[in-house]
């Protein structure tokens, strides 16, 4: 009976496959008949990219986390191909849930499948309305090297890291949320598991498994309260418009709790459980690991398997990455959506950063470039100037950079790990950079002449950002590289540009009154026809922004 | 009959597969019996990694290049698994050849297979003797990032490029060989096909196909004289100890001869023919292309297919690469043995060069970093100082670099394309670098602290090369980074080192009389216990070389 109902209720595509001779109209009639008996197990409406939850009561005997299988198929009225199959999960106390993030507006129907009668063949329907103003959907890759929300709005990544801010108790966690709300950051990296490391000796309030700390766990039984808390924090970030880059494994346990050295079966079950709970949050990104190569109990084949599991189990294909210590993962693997890289040296120089674009042909996110702070570790005592400089070098190279802060604190509340408040000088400058990014072309900032003049970013012929870094020029002669052959883009004599001088440290933007008109100077460069120069203050961290003058824009 | 003979004659491994129930001793007896009738079709002896040639007379009717299939299986007396199957080729005038480069000493036997009776089931045996002193075998990858000959001798790549030196007629070609003989270069890149480009308007003396220049070719009929000439040049290089990095396709034809836009069937046949003729030369490397991405008629899938063809058809798995214009190929592909990269900017800074090692985990050869010269192209007017500087930056990053020279010449004889004589200032300095390389650890020069202190190359605890590039320090305080965790290598207080100052431009080596003893200074560095410094002349292009003092070496 279950199988029959599924065939009949199944989205049309599934139906056609299963019963090629059954006419569609008969099937639809039966389907409508059956749906007439539908009962509501969740909301009757939800907004696009919101979260619908099917809530069911089911068995509590045995081990429901392992013994009970539950999933639901969601069918969109308007296209069979839009069907989504989502795994459900056990949430304790006899409660089972299946979560769904509708990718399209309109009418949706669902039916459940389970190995337990109480959970099987439950049906329902609901209406998906237009997303509310602040909801742009999940972030995906666009233009090879960049990101945008599902509704097309560009997402210019400006991330931070607080590895275990979500394990610090409500007071500190809510302070972190408050800090984030007024910060420039639109993404935060953090771990599911708690962390043991310098400045991190506190036990967390909750653990992911049933059992007794530090390390007597029943890893076949999850702790729903732990995950509900995690979800509450992901939801809070979502409501602030901040992407949650969720780190699924990390090495800073070293056997204390043992979450870094579970068996393959435990790892895989854990991944599936996390994905079934969290994939329907639109602001989720998956990071398989922080410093995967420092987890000495795992082989590369494990990470490959984890990548396949997450990629296969996440019906929405949220962004998925893996972050390195010293050994880069092979980011050309198809399941990796973008390269999440730890390497501070790569953003000391746009000419370095740009190299990763060439080899991976994916967005490059430098998620760890060392931190602003004063700890006695060379990865944690950059000046604010140096960190902001690295963001700018990465930006003009057409890549994205992440922030972190490690100032010593009497109670060991370092932003990098626990959150709290920001005390550094970089966030204000990164807010200035965020403004620059939001004002930049929707297609993204691209290197203009990648192996010759890495100080130029932008979109050839339209927009240029020239960053002088630590140099302190007194002037800049207007000079634009000829766009690469084969791109189809040309610049030519007479094109006009308006210019601004940006002081990236002092956060000022100064418009230059003149309009500059191009004239070819060499085989490789155009300059201003009157050889005019732009005066600069002779300080470091200056940039010039050129925008094609609208008056002269053709098309 | 043919099939039976093959089964019986086949190397034991093949026999076992084919006739699992036939006892080995009976098979051996039959094999010996059959071999007793063997007749000699080639040399009766050859040295290891030399070239044995089976020469057969066969049909001349039809199109022997297409109609006739010929191969030979070579069996080593001492291990079935060492069997080699080599494709033969038609060499015109009824002559068919199968070439073999024996990878092991001892007795070898062969039998041929062909679709033509005259060529089929020919058998022979020969003795492979110890390689002569100058023959170290083919070059392969070792220690992930480096090269060695088959006999274990390290190969420290120091390449040059003369794209079509082999298409210039005997006078100039022999001059090039003479120049190479006294040059520091141990590898040269050049093309099978002729080239049309600036400073390259001369037609070549020979063409690869039958037909009439410029472009009336029968691409199903090769011109054996063309290939014999190519082989003569490859052999001359071999005899000088120079590796021949043979470029199979290139874009600088643009339809003049049409070799850049053959059909897939023509491309594939051409590749197989070249491989069947050249694979038995021990000094062959394959480069699928110069600037593959500039060949607009080809897709990436074509290059993938070419890579598979060469890799599959070359029984010796010579080094195989593909060189880019602006778009890097995915060098993580399994058939690619090393990354052959065009990117001058990457070797302006060891901190850039090193990034490619991380992503490809293969040897990195910067085969094009711009050239010493004076042509009005920005890729061809580096100063000698700049080119030598780039070699050094690449070297300390644990990568390899290639030379080229583009000085204008009244008859358009630019080394980069046609060979001739070297007129630049860099080769003498590269000879000095070659000495440094030959003296460096057999394991190769590795980055010592890849993302923090890219100016250090060497082998931690044993050998350090610290290059100051364009900086002009007056002294250097002895300072060695702690080896990375996880490598198992430690340095410790009391270790003693001898130091030399290298002037890489003026080609001098100055020994420092003192012996330096280490003392831990910070979490990241060791220095000299007495904080001694090494005096430097305040000029650019200086390096310091430190070697562990033999007196204090343990083990």
| A15 Cα to chain B: minimum distance (Å) | 36
How far is residue A548's CA from residue B53's CA, in Å, rounded to a whole number? 67
Contact B358/A at CB under 8 A: yes
Q: Which residues of chain B have a CB within 8 Å of the CB of A484? A: 326
Would the ipTM clear 0.90, i.e. be above it?
yes
| A354 Cα to chain B: minimum distance (Å) | 10
Q: Which residues of chain A have a CB within 8 Å of the CB of B328? A: 358-359
- Picking from B168, B257, B169, the residue whose alpha carbon sits closest to that of residue B213 is B257
| B526 Cα to chain A: minimum distance (Å) | 15
Going edge to edge, which strands form the sheet with A139-142? A139-142, A146-149, A154-155
pLDDT of residue A58: 97
| B53 Cα to chain A: minimum distance (Å) | 42
Please tell me which residue of chain A has the smallest CA distance to B324: A358
From the list B351, B360, B378, the residue facing A349 with the nearest CB is B351
- Residue that the structure tokens 């220095």 belong to: B527
| Cβ neighbours around B17 below 10 Å, total | 11
Task: Assign 3-class secondary structure to A99-124.
Answer: EECCCCCEEEEEEEEECCHHHCCCEE
CB within 8 Å: B332 and A330: yes
Q: Mean pLDDT, consecutive 10-residue segments, chain A of 555 residues?
A: 43 44 51 52 92 97 97 95 95 98 97 97 96 98 98 98 98 98 98 97 97 94 98 98 98 95 98 98 98 97 98 98 97 98 98 98 98 97 98 98 98 98 98 98 97 97 98 97 85 96 98 96 96 97 95 51
Burial of B431 (0-12, 13-18, 19+ CB in 10 A): middle
Q: Which residues of chain B have a CB within 8 Å of the CB of A327? A: 358
Contact A483/B at CB under 8 A: no
Please tell me which residue of chain B has the smallest CA distance to A525: B378
Q: Which residues of chain A have a CB within 8 Å of the CB of B484? A: 326
Separation in Å, CA A24 to CA A31, A38, A111, A125, B34? 10, 21, 19, 20, 71
Query: CA triplet A491, A494, A497: central angle to 5 degrees?
Result: 75
How far is residue A98's CA from residue A277's CA, in Å, rounded to a whole number? 8
pLDDT of residue A27: 53
Handedness of CA A199, A201, A206, A207 (dihedral sign): positive
pLDDT of residue B12: 54
- Picking from B316, B313, B334, B336, the residue whose alpha carbon sits closest to that of residue B324 is B336
Give the 3-state secondary structure of residue B109. Answer: strand
Give the 3-state secondary structure of residue B157. Answer: coil
From the list B332, B352, B524, the residue facing A351 with the nearest CB is B352
Query: Quick one: chain A helix, strand, coil %, rounded to 5?
Result: 25, 30, 45
Buried b / exposed e over A333-363, threshold 16 CB at 10 Å, is: eebbbbbbbbbbbbbbbbbbbbbbbbbbbbb
Residues near A276 by Cβ (< 8 Å), separated by ≥ 6? A86, A87, A88, A89, A99, A313
Please tell me which residue of chain B has the smallest CA distance to A376: B523
Cβ atoms B496, B508 nearer than 8 A: no
pLDDT of residue B80: 86
How far is residue B181's CA from residue B185's CA, in Å, rounded to a whole number? 9
Please tell me which residue of chain A has the smallest CA distance to B378: A524
Contact B523/A at CB under 8 A: yes
Total beta-carbon pairs less than 8 A apart between chain A and chain B: 69
How do residues B278-334 score in pLDDT, each as one tens digit? Answer: 999 999 999 999 999 999 999 999 999 999 999 999 999 999 999 999 999 999 999
CB within 8 Å: B345 and A454: yes
pLDDT band at B10 (very low <50, low <70, confident <90, very high): low
How do residues A154-169 score in pLDDT, each as one tens digit? Answer: 999 999 999 999 999 9
pLDDT band at B47 (very low <50, low <70, confident <90, very high): very high
Contact A486/B at CB under 8 A: yes
| B336 Cα to chain A: minimum distance (Å) | 14
Supply B397's token pair: 């990053």
Cβ atoms A507, A434 nearer than 8 A: no
Give the 3-state secondary structure of residue A338. Answer: coil
Give the 3-state secondary structure of residue A353. Answer: helix
Q: Is the pLDDT of residue B254 over 80?
A: yes
Which of A:453-472 have CB within 8 Å of B? 454
How do residues A23-64 score in pLDDT, each as one tens digit? Answer: 445 555 555 455 544 456 878 999 999 999 999 999 999 999
Please tell me which residue of chain B has the smallest CA distance to A331: B359
Q: Which residues of chain A have a CB within 8 Å of the CB of B376? A: 523
| B448 Cα to chain A: minimum distance (Å) | 13
| B343 Cα to chain A: minimum distance (Å) | 7
How do residues B328-371 score in pLDDT, each as one tens digit? Answer: 999 999 999 999 999 999 999 999 999 999 999 999 999 999 99
Cβ atoms A366, A353 nearer than 8 A: yes
CB within 8 Å: A326 and B352: no
| B484 Cα to chain A: minimum distance (Å) | 9
Separation in Å, CA B315 to CA B65, B74, B87, B168, B238? 20, 11, 9, 31, 19
Residues near B348 by Cβ (< 8 Å), separated by ≥ 6? A351, B389, B390, B393
Pairing of β A525-528 and β A508-520: antiparallel
pLDDT of residue A41: 83
Cβ atoms B157, B186 nearer than 8 A: yes
Supply B240's token pair: 């000088």
State the Cα torsion A181-A184-A186-A188 to the nearest 10°. -80
pLDDT band at B486 (very low <50, low <70, confident <90, very high): confident
Contact A349/B at CB under 8 A: yes
Cβ atoms B210, B221 nearer than 8 A: yes
From the list B326, B356, B452, the residue facing A345 with the nearest CB is B452
pLDDT of residue B487: 78
Contact A362/B at CB under 8 A: no
Q: Which residues of chain A have a CB within 8 Å of the CB of B377? A: 523
Which carries the bigger pLDDT value, residue B48 or residue A483?
Answer: B48
| A20 Cα to chain B: minimum distance (Å) | 36
Cβ atoms B94, B57 nearer than 8 A: yes
Contact A39/B at CB under 8 A: no
| B394 Cα to chain A: minimum distance (Å) | 14
Q: Which residues of chain B have a CB within 8 Å of the CB of A360? A: 359
Query: CA triplet A22, A28, A30: central angle to 5 degrees?
Result: 85
pLDDT band at B17 (very low <50, low <70, confident <90, very high): very low
Q: Which residues of chain B have a CB within 8 Å of the CB of A452? A: 345, 378
How do residues B400-449 score in pLDDT, each as one tens digit? Answer: 999 999 999 999 999 999 999 999 999 999 999 999 999 999 999 999 99
pTM above 0.90, yes or no: yes
Which of the residues B144, B343, B356, B451 would you substitute to probe the A interface, choosing the one with the greatest number of A C-beta atoms within 10 Å? B451
How far is residue A62's CA from residue A384's CA, in Å, rounded to a whole number? 55
Helical residues (DSSP H) of B212-324, grouped into ranges = 224-239, 264-278, 300-313
Query: CA triplet A349, A350, A354: central angle to 5 degrees?
Result: 125
Report how far apart the first and last C-alpha atoms of chain A are (Å, whole number).
62
pLDDT of residue A5: 41
Burial of B554 (0-12, 13-18, 19+ CB in 10 A): exposed
Supply B314's token pair: 């070359």
Radius of gyration of chain A (CA): 26
CB within 8 Å: B345 and A351: yes
How far is residue B233's CA from residue B318's CA, in Å, rounded to a whole number? 18
Radius of gyration of chain B (CA): 26
Query: Average pLDDT, whole number, for chain B?
Result: 93
pLDDT of residue A4: 37
pLDDT of residue B36: 45
| A327 Cα to chain B: minimum distance (Å) | 7
| Cβ neighbours around B72 below 10 Å, total | 27
How do residues B186-237 score in pLDDT, each as one tens digit? Answer: 999 999 999 999 999 999 999 999 999 998 999 999 999 999 999 999 999 9
Helices A426-439 and A384-396 sit at what angle, rounded to 10 degrees?
20
Q: Which residues of chain B have a CB within 8 Å of the CB of A489? A: none
Cβ atoms B320, B307 nearer than 8 A: yes
Please tell me which residue of chain A has the smallest CA distance to B524: A378
pLDDT of residue A477: 97
From the list B330, B450, B454, the residue facing A332 with the nearest CB is B330
CA atoms within 13 A on the CB side of A113: 15
How far is residue B300's CA from residue A129's CA, in Å, rounded to a whole number? 43
From the list A330, A454, A484, the residue facing B326 with the nearest CB is A484
| Cβ neighbours around B186 below 10 Å, total | 21
Supply A479's token pair: 């000079």
Separation in Å, CA A8 to CA A12, A29, A95, A123, A145? 9, 10, 27, 12, 43
């Amino acid at each position: 009976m279950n199988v029959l109902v599924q065939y009949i209720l199944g989205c049309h595509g599934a139906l056609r496959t299963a019963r090629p001779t059954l006419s569609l109209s008969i099937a639809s009639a039966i389907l409508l008949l059956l749906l007439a008996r539908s009962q509501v197990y969740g909301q009757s409406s939800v907004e696009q990219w919101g979260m619908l939850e099917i809530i069911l009561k089911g068995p509590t005997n045995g081990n429901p986390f392992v013994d009970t299988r539950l999933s639901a198929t969601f069918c969109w009225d308007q296209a069979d191909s839009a069907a989504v199959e989502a795994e459900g999960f056990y949430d304790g106390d006899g409660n089972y849930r299946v979560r769904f993030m509708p990718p399209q507006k309109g009418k949706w129907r669902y039916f459940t499948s389970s190995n337990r009668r109480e959970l099987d063949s439950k049906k329902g329907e609901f209406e998906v309305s237009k997303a509310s103003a602040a909801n742009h959907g999940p972030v995906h890759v666009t233009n090879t090297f960049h990101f945008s929300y599902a509704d097309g709005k560009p997402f210019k990544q400006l991330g931070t890291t607080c590895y275990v801010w979500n394990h610090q108790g409500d007071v500190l966690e809510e302070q972190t949320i408050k800090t984030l709300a007024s910060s420039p950051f639109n993404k935060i990296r953090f771990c599911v598991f708690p962390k043991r490391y310098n400045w991190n000796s506190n036990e967390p309030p909750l653990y992911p498994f049933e059992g007794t700390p530090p390390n007597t766990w029943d890893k076949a039984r999850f702790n729903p309260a732990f995950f509900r808390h995690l979800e509450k924090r992901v939801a809070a970030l979502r409501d602030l418009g901040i992407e949650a880059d969720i780190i699924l494994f990390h090495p800073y346990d070293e056997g204390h709790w043992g979450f870094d050295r579970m068996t393959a079966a435990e790892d895989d079950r854990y991944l599936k459980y996390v994905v079934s709970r969290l994939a329907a949050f639109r602001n989720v990104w998956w990071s398989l690991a922080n410093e995967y190569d420092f987890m000495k109990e795992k082989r590369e084949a494990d990470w490959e398997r984890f990548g396949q599991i997450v990629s296969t189990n996440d019906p929405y294909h949220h962004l998925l990455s893996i972050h390195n210590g010293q050994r880069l993962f092979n980011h050309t693997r198809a399941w990796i959506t973008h390269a999440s890289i730890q390497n501070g040296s790569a953003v000391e120089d746009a000419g370095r950063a740009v190299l990763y674009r060439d080899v991976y042909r994916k967005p490059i996110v430098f998620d760890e470039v060392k931190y602003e702070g004063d700890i006695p570790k060379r990865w944690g005592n950059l000046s604010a100037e140096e960190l902001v400089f690295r963001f700018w070098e990465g930006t003009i190279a057409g890549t994205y950079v992440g922030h972190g802060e490690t100032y010593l604190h009497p109670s060991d509340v370092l932003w990098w790990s626990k959150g709290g408040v920001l005390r550094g000088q970089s966030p204000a400058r990164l807010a200035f950079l965020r403004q620059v990014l939001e004002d930049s072309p929707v297609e993204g900032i691209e290197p203009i002449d990648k192996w010759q003049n890495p100080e130029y970013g932008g979109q050839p012929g339209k927009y240029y950002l020239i960053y002088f870094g630590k140099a302190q020029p007194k002037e800049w002669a207007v000079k634009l590289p000829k766009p690469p052959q084969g791109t189809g883009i040309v610049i030519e004599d007479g094109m006009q540009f308006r210019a601004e001088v940006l002081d990236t440290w002092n956060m000022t933007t100064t418009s230059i009154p003149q309009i500059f008109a191009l004239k070819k100077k060499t085989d490789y460069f155009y300059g201003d026809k009157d050889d005019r120069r732009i005066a600069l203050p002779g300080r470091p961290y200056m940039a010039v922004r050129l925008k094609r003058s609208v008056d002269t824009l053709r098309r």
